[in-house]
Chain A
């Protein structure tokens, strides 16, 4: 069965600090990978996605993620965080071969950015 593990449960940073959130998945086949963000009081929104091609993908609001197949990882990065990045971040994986389209989510990482 697929699973997704996010290493950091709660991260506290000061504004302008760099961010890296870890995500590892377990699945031996082809996967699609996603990062979603949930701002306080809002529903989930897509930050970025990887399907194929360049393993370094860029998303909205200056976020990027790198897919490293050999490490089964899809870590999220941002060079300089802002107070408005305070949110919960979820990594998710989808196995196209399953024919269900369902996403399996990680446990989430709460990011708190101090002004």
Chain B
């Protein structure tokens, strides 16, 4: 039972480079989320999706794009990476919007030089 899988686990980028983080869940969850975790700031919501084909902005969406073409996958893209995007990124999913807990992936540590 894989749960929520994030790839890659680590990545180093140069300023201006692009990349895509992949989140895959095998629990048939409708709701998926991308958070970034920074020291002293907790987890901040970047984008989220309430179902296949839908996405919405969270608290800190600037500089990121997302897509949810398939229910099980939620992709986070950085078109032109900046040092301010150095962070740990967590994907999460849940079955029900209200009551079910979030299932988190193990995180992606991204450094932008």
Interface, chain A (partner B; CB < 8 A): 4, 6, 9, 32, 34, 36, 42-46, 49, 51, 90, 92, 94, 96, 99-108
Q: Are A106 and B101 in contact (CB under 8 A)?
A: no
Question: Is B74 positioned at the interface, with any CB of A under 8 Å from its CB?
Answer: no
Q: Which residues does chain A contribute within 8 Å of B110, judged by CB atoms?
A: none
17 CB < 8 A contacts A-B = A4-B42, A6-B42, A32-B99, A43-B90, A44-B90, A49-B101, A100-B31, A100-B48, A100-B56, A101-B50, A101-B96, A102-B33, A104-B45, A105-B35, A105-B43, A108-B40, A108-B42
Chain B interfacial residues counted at CB < 8 A:
27
Interface residues of B (CB under 8 A from A): 31, 33, 35, 40-45, 48, 50, 56, 58-59, 90, 92, 94, 96-99, 101-102, 104-107
A104 / chain B contacts, CB cutoff of 8 Å: 45, 59
Tell me which of B35, B92, B96, B101 has the highest count of chain A C-beta atoms within 10 A of its own C-beta: B101
Most buried by B among A4, A32, A92, A105: A105
Task: Kindly state the separation between the CA atoms of A14 and B101 in the bound complex, as whole angstroms.
Answer: 31
> Is A101's CB under 8 angstroms from B45's CB?
no
Q: For the complex, what is the distance from the CA of A99 to the CA of B31, rounded to whole Å?
A: 11
CB neighbours of B44 from chain A (8 A): 105
Apart from A43-B90, A96-B98, A100-B50, 9 more pairs, CB < 8 Å: A9-B40, A36-B102, A51-B98, A90-B42, A99-B50, A100-B31, A102-B48, A105-B35, A108-B43
